[in-house]
Structure 1
Amino acid sequence: MNIQRLQLSEEPPMDLLLLADPSKEQIASYLNRGQCYIATEAGKIVGVYVLLPISPDKIELKNVAVDENEQGKGIGKELIHHAIKNARSQGYRTIEVGTGNSSIGQLALYQKCGFRITAIDKDFFIKNYDETIVENGIVCRDMVRLTLEL
């Protein structure tokens, strides 16, 4: 698998980005300010993530998504490890990620990659998204923030 930064002239893989964030407006907002990376295998885009600088010392990992036909193969974990290494090489001291309270698989994955839960942004998804999000039979209300010191 090859992971590289998306060039400004290239279209972002919106179908994949929408798997992790149902709001085109939110995606457009952080794509304009962030660094988008794509994972390809045999010429096909299989994964994506975005790094969004927050401060000189902190960067946020946004929108880690893997093609539904490629899930369960370790691509998500590889994307997260790439993002961590990438953030470290850019001189950041902390990387943060946020996910929904209903995103059980993602919460487990981030913790397996070394992230620790550091905050909960109550009602984040209620305030920032027009439609109700339901995952794993749970209404997604709160943003769970996880942090990894680099």
Structure 2
Amino acid sequence: MVTQLPLDGVPLVKTGPSGVTIRPVRDDEVETLRQIERSAAQAFRLIEAFSWLSVGEVQSAEVHHALIKAGTNWVAVDEGDHPLGFLSAEISGRDLHICEISVDHLHQGFGIGRKLIAHAIDIATTRGLQAVTLTTFRTIPWNCPFYERLGFRVLDEDALSPRMRDVLDLEEAHGLRRDTRCAMRLDISAP
């Protein structure tokens, strides 16, 4: 954190990297994104029940490349165009579904994730979609509670679409207990 005094003498506090922008991911950045996801997962080391995620699999290069081709894989970069985080999504029906969002552990807590989510919402709005959806952990502070603060709501089991049920079932098949997960949705207002 850097504190500067502007001309009027009121302190300004600058946090995190300045000049973060969001742009589409390039094919040559896929391995960097996989490293960012591994770095982001280190936050789970401190939670005994989920510590295995810190050494778990990350999104495959093939999935990244497919989402790049679909135009739904974005990276947050600093002023030097160095990737700091990413958000990958897919369009399913009238929804933009967030598959993965990760910010390098050294850059977490500075609003980069918030900026990536805002970008996804803007894209969904521009494309005339109805909602942004995702699945996440119910009780981990930087998961469900974070998304709730951004306007997402938890979907009750009876409100799940067949696609969202399938996503949660697939996650469970990969070791993510269903009782720890939830599906969330942010409805898009017409522009």
TM-score (norm 1): 0.77
Contact 1:123 1:143 in 2 (8 A): no
What residue identity is the alignment partner of 1:23? Answer: E
Using the alignment, how far apart are the partners of 1:70 and 1:148 within structure 2? 25
| Aligned-pair CA distance for 1:42 | 2.7
What residue identity is the alignment partner of 1:88? Answer: T
Partner of 2:162: none
CA deviation profile, 1:109-149 (whole Å, cap 9, x unmatched): 111111000146667544224xxx7xxxxx78543110011
Using the alignment, how far apart are the partners of 1:148 and 1:53 within structure 2? 14
Within the alignment, does 1:23 sit opposite 2:57 as a pair? yes
SS of equivalent residue, structure 1 residue 104: coil
Partner of 1:69: 106
What residue identity is the alignment partner of 2:85? Answer: G
SS of equivalent residue, structure 1 residue 47: strand
| Aligned-pair CA distance for 1:2 | 1.2
| Structure with the largest fraction of helix | 2
Contact 1:30 1:52 in 2 (8 A): no
CA separation of 1:123 and 1:101: change in aligned 2, threshold 3 A: farther
Partner of 1:6: 25
Using the alignment, how far apart are the partners of 2:143 and 2:129 within structure 1? 23
| Structure with the largest fraction of strand | 1
How many residues are paired up?
A: 139
CA separation of 1:28 and 1:118: change in aligned 2, threshold 3 A: farther
Within the alignment, does 1:103 sit opposite 2:103 as a pair? no
Partner of 2:8: none
What residue identity is the alignment partner of 2:148? Answer: Q
Partner of 1:143: 181
CA separation of 1:125 and 1:33: change in aligned 2, threshold 3 A: same
What residue identity is the alignment partner of 2:35? Answer: D
- Give the number of the structure whose alpha-carbon radius of gyration is greater: 2
Give the % identical residues: 21
Partner of 1:136: none
Aligned partner of 2:116 among 67, 70, 79: 79
Contact 2:139 2:145 in 1 (8 A): no
SS of equivalent residue, structure 2 residue 23: strand
SS of equivalent residue, structure 1 residue 78: helix
Partner of 2:150: 113
